[in-house]
Structure 1
Amino acid sequence: MRKHFYIILLSIIGFHAHAQTYNYTDLGILFSSNNNTGTARFTGLNGAMGAVGGDLSSLNINPAGIAIYHHSEISLTYGSINHSNETNYYESTQSNQSTTFNRNQVGAVIVFDDPLIANNWSKVSFAINHQRTANFHTRNSFFGNSRFPSFISHPNDPDPENTYENAISQSFYNYIDGKSSKLNLALAGQYGKNFYAGFSLNIHHLDFSQSTTLNELSTDEDDNILDALTTENLNETADGFSINVGFIYKPIRAVRLGLSFESPIWYELSEEANTRELIASIPAENIEAADPYTNNSNLDYLLRTPSKLSLSGALVIGKIGFINLDYTYKAYNTLSTDPPQHLSNLDPINNQEIINGFKENNQYFSDVLQNTHNINIGGEFRVKNTSLRFGVGHEQSPFRKSLNARDFDILSIGDQLTSSLGAGFRFGASRLDLAYRKVLQNNKYDFNDLNQQYERINAGSVNNKNSRIIATYTCSF
């Protein structure tokens, strides 16, 4: 696990063993997450479009879906997210709320419906689509008292044996911003009347920034107060790629079956991190303030996210609408971090230590993670030029159930429950779609993870209740 990797790197590239920002293992899991959002139609169906297609965002589930189009189309999506959570740390509860606005998606599909195409390929579609795949925006605050301070001495105390072990209060702030996005370049075709196949090359980009502040107050036997503060900043940028392949088959007019595979995302990441510790003066004892630790560090590394296999089925009720079910198997056993490719520039001893640290990360993935089974169901019903949509979903936590709290690193995420509603209004060759989506998830944040001498300190809990409103304008041509 990276808690050991931190100690190794302390002497190599400056990481400090009191980290509260996410470990490489936590980042690997976080960057493997994926929100089923995109266009408002896709969002209103909770992303359940693997067997029906006909939407630019649906190619992220099954690229064969763009061959369903009868006409070329361009779409643009904007939306807002209400981030709401409630934290609990030793029976002290805090509420946090914030709102972000962004462009979710923009893309186009071009349909080549040419009867001269040979070998029974009656239609070919090409799509280019850019959309956000995750929004990392987070605001957490924790207040409480574990009774076990992590700072128990003052560097400038003339009595080196004097300790400040009576904890008064502890507060922790976690601010995260950033996003991941994907550019799809997809090609799909219809073979005969009942079979569709598609392929997509996906180019990924990721920006992530995290700032944390831990403040503790504790006293010695004479009630002198030790006021200690740790601030940490972490910035990650990454570029990567993946591929999707998919198929849709219509055995009968009312039934569609889908099968698709998404490869891992192969990321190359660059990290910048800094840490600073400050301890206030104690005027009553003539003890001056201390700045005992400051560090800046950089590291490049590789990340491979889980691959995904999706099975889909849809019942199409003529022109009235459809119901679609997607099952996705996410293979967390393919998740891994790897050392930077330029290790040959470092000395052999440090090379091996860093390589062993990444091996521990991957062993952690094997020890605590499980492959997941995820379900999304969505339906659309049409009345003249109006469409009404709904969707529900369950995404299984990647963490095994039979683990104790100290088996986790800093971040532990729970099952995710989602629900959505949507509507679409057609005006000739144009369409306006609206959607609302709710996401519920309970997580754990162990900002004392690396302080193993304080194993009795519990992690803070985070109850997330996020919602988003999305609007898409689409024009067919």
Structure 2
Amino acid sequence: MKKNLLLFLTVGLTFSTTYSQEIKDAVRYTKSDLQGTARFTAMSGAFGALGGDLSSINVNPAGSSVFNNNQFSTTMGFYDIKNNSNYFDSSTSTSENNFDLNQAGGVFVFKTQDPNSHLKKFSMSINYENSNNYENSTFSAGVSPIHSVDEYFISYATGVPLGLLQNNNYADLDHGAQQAYLGYHGYVINPVSETDSNTLYTSNVRQGGNYYQENSVYSDGHNGKLIFNGAFQVDNLFFGLNLNSHFTDYVQNSNFYEFNNNNPGINYEVQSLSFSNTLHTYGSGFSFQIGTIAKLTDQIRLGFAYESPTWYNLRDEFSQRLSSIRNNNSNTLPPDVVDPLVINYYAPYDLQTPSSLTASFAYVFGKSGLLSIDYKYKNYSQTEYGPENDQYFRDLNRVLENTLGSSNEIRVGGEYRIQNLKLRGGYRFEGSPYKNGTTIGDLNSFSGGLGYNLGFIKLDFSYVHVNSSSQEQFFSQGFTQAARINSYKNNYTMTFTFEM
């Protein structure tokens, strides 16, 4: 039988060829926030047929050849996000805010000197875009009438020989056996028999239901993209190519707490526990884009762009800690703490995000204003983990294909000019990447802003409000309770542009 002790393992590192990736980890890198210059965000990013803005290159690479002059811009943003959680009719709320660099870059325009040449000009640009800001937090709390987190540990422990958990350190096990190890040494689960060959386990949590549970998640980091662009204009047609270098760094800290007041038995059963997990994912990737814009008349413009998959190479670091308190009718034992003090370094792996197609229309009302519409299609079921010869990833890719679906995105933006002042507004709708439409719900966003032209210097401001909903599932298997999260995000952006 296990001894009642405070368990610590030697500080160390373990390198593993097993994996612990989930669907939500893949989706994190397939979706992007609306980032970029203040003019771009004020019009909800509807720039596929317009160009002439450094962030428009992120939609359609042909947009850089619309510029008439060299231009340099930098953009700062302030964000605040509020997450309202509902878990078994209990409501909680969290908020976060921060400053960040949205965009920085420049474009160089080279015009041909021959007025009879079909080639009018070509351009080269480099631009940094902050695709995602991962700073966020959620907190959910409520009383689950039936289910306890013991189901999580039992689901992983079932099929794992007891001898493996008794005779090996945490660092020597794969991800699934590590979860069983924590549950066993934290006294959350008990073996059906004490033989080394035992593979069945039961709960050591007080039975009776009504488990008070808290789940807090804090994340930080970013996903950025450096765009190398080339484009040219032939008569009234514009063509462009982007080569994109991606880099990402994501950290998530989560803690799950459970407590119950059920009647204690004669054995020492778990009354409360705290389970903490820390994930650090980092890596780089590559993608490309091609696009064209056709100026049919002085008023009408059409655009079309293709964005390739992004091919990421990623690494994960993962650590865990479990603490539980047990008692019986008369005594309470000191906390049982399982803190391996080990960081799991998983083998590098690949992630391929889906490609996308964007079709655009714009109508320009002379010098007084414009209206622009973009439609974007993306099939999230094409998301794939690799290497392909790994059985774990083949199984996970089948789950991705069955769980994720295609998504439609609509962006509408307008601009009205009053001498040197420009007023802007926009709307954005993005469909859920999940077939069920609820794990992550549809996104709705409204935007507005203004810009002022001082000659060779321009100042632009924007405000974007984003509303979305999701189901935050606390754990991937066994204990699959979820909280309903309604998120409200406000972005305030300012861009300084220098033109020469």
TM-score (norm 2): 0.82
| Residue 463, structure 1, aligned to residue 470, structure 2 | no
Give deviations 1:139-176, integer Å, cap 9, x for gaps.
1001111132223898687x968641234411110001
Other-structure match for 1:289: 335
| Residue 45, structure 1, aligned to residue 92, structure 2 | no
Using the alignment, how far apart are the partners of 2:215 and 2:395 within structure 1? Answer: 28
Give identity over the alignment, percent.
29
Q: 1:74-473 residue pairs with structure 2 within 5 A? A: 74-116=72-114, 120-147=118-145, 148-151=147-150, 163-166=205-208, 167-192=210-235, 194-219=236-261, 221-222=263-264, 226-280=271-325, 282=327, 284-285=330-331, 287-292=333-338, 294=340, 296-299=343-346, 300-339=348-387, 355-401=390-436, 412-451=439-478, 454=479, 458-473=481-496
Distance of aligned partners of 1:118 and 1:320 in 2 relative to their CA distance in 1, 3 Å threshold? closer
Using the alignment, how far apart are the partners of 1:42 and 1:73 within structure 2? Answer: 15
AA partner of residue 229 (structure 1): S
Once the two structures are TM-superposed, the CA of residue 105 in structure 1 deviates from its matched residue by: 0.7
Using the alignment, how far apart are the partners of 2:415 and 2:133 within structure 1? Answer: 26
Q: Could you tell me which runs of 5 or more consecutive residues in structure 2 were left unpaired when the two chains were aligned.
A: 1-13, 152-182, 191-201
Using the alignment, how far apart are the partners of 2:149 and 2:221 within structure 1? Answer: 30
Once the two structures are TM-superposed, the CA of residue 357 in structure 1 deviates from its matched residue by: 1.1
Distance of aligned partners of 1:155 and 1:206 in 2 relative to their CA distance in 1, 3 Å threshold? closer
Alpha carbons 2:286, 2:311 under 8 Å: kept: yes
Once the two structures are TM-superposed, the CA of residue 413 in structure 1 deviates from its matched residue by: 1.1
Distance of aligned partners of 1:31 and 1:118 in 2 relative to their CA distance in 1, 3 Å threshold? farther
Which deviates more, 237-246 or 457-466?
Answer: 457-466
Q: Could you tell me which runs of 5 or more consecutive residues in structure 1 were left unpaired when the two chains were aligned.
A: 1-10, 341-351, 406-411
Using the alignment, how far apart are the partners of 2:395 and 2:467 within structure 1? Answer: 31
Distance of aligned partners of 1:14 and 1:92 in 2 relative to their CA distance in 1, 3 Å threshold? farther
Q: 1:43-82 residue pairs with structure 2 within 5 A? A: 43-82=41-80
Distance of aligned partners of 1:56 and 1:110 in 2 relative to their CA distance in 1, 3 Å threshold? same
Instruction: Count matched residues.
Output: 436
Once the two structures are TM-superposed, the CA of residue 447 in structure 1 deviates from its matched residue by: 0.7
AA partner of residue 102 (structure 2): N
AA partner of residue 27 (structure 2): I
Distance of aligned partners of 1:307 and 1:155 in 2 relative to their CA distance in 1, 3 Å threshold? closer
Give deviations 1:242-291, integer Å, cap 9, x for gaps.
11111000121110000110101110001100111111354942534223
Give deviations 1:201-259, integer Å, cap 9, x for gaps.
11111110000000111245337761211000000001011111110001211100001
Q: What secondary structure is seen at the aligned counterpart in 2 of 1:414?
A: coil
Distance of aligned partners of 1:470 and 1:165 in 2 relative to their CA distance in 1, 3 Å threshold? same
- Structure whose alpha-carbon radius of gyration is higher: 2
Alpha carbons 2:270, 2:324 under 8 Å: kept: no
Other-structure match for 1:408: none
Using the alignment, how far apart are the partners of 2:491 and 2:252 within structure 1? Answer: 22
AA partner of residue 367 (structure 1): N
AA partner of residue 148 (structure 2): P
Alpha carbons 1:156, 1:289 under 8 Å: kept: no
Q: What secondary structure is seen at the aligned counterpart in 2 of 1:79?
A: strand
Distance of aligned partners of 1:466 and 1:55 in 2 relative to their CA distance in 1, 3 Å threshold? same
Using the alignment, how far apart are the partners of 1:330 and 1:178 within structure 2? Answer: 25
AA partner of residue 377 (structure 2): Y
Q: What secondary structure is seen at the aligned counterpart in 2 of 1:280?
A: strand
Alpha carbons 2:61, 2:291 under 8 Å: kept: yes
Alpha carbons 1:15, 1:297 under 8 Å: kept: no
Using the alignment, how far apart are the partners of 1:426 and 1:450 within structure 2? Answer: 56
Alpha carbons 1:241, 1:266 under 8 Å: kept: yes
Distance of aligned partners of 1:444 and 1:273 in 2 relative to their CA distance in 1, 3 Å threshold? same
Distance of aligned partners of 1:32 and 1:156 in 2 relative to their CA distance in 1, 3 Å threshold? closer
Using the alignment, how far apart are the partners of 1:28 and 1:117 within structure 2? Answer: 50
Distance of aligned partners of 1:459 and 1:286 in 2 relative to their CA distance in 1, 3 Å threshold? closer
Which deviates more, 263-272 or 276-285?
Answer: 276-285
Using the alignment, how far apart are the partners of 2:460 and 2:284 within structure 1? Answer: 31
Once the two structures are TM-superposed, the CA of residue 117 in structure 1 deviates from its matched residue by: 9.4
Alpha carbons 2:241, 2:291 under 8 Å: kept: yes
Q: What secondary structure is seen at the aligned counterpart in 1 of 2:25?
A: helix
Once the two structures are TM-superposed, the CA of residue 115 in structure 1 deviates from its matched residue by: 1.4
